Amino acid sequence: MRTALPLALAAMMLSAIAAPPAAADRRGRDEPAPSAQRVTVTQERAVAIARANGMVRLHEVKFDDGRWEVEGWTAAGAKIEFDIHPVTGAIMKQEIYSAPR
Please name each of the domains of the chain with its CATH number: 4-96 (3.10.450.40)
Q: What pLDDT, on the 0 to 100 scale, is given for residue 23?
A: 46
**Nearest to residue 75, comparing CAs of 95, 52, 55, 58?**
55
Q: What pLDDT, on the 0 to 100 scale, is given for residue 5?
A: 53
Is 43:82 a contact under the CB 8 Å cutoff? no
Q: What pLDDT, on the 0 to 100 scale, is given for residue 40?
A: 94
Q: What pLDDT, on the 0 to 100 scale, is given for residue 44?
A: 97
Whether this prediction's pTM lies above 0.85 is answered by: no
pLDDT of the chain, 101 residues: tens digit per residue: 555 555 555 555 555 555 455 444 454 555 555 555 688 999 999 999 999 999 999 999 999 999 999 999 999 999 999 999 999 999 999 999 987 77
Is 53:91 a contact under the CB 8 Å cutoff? yes
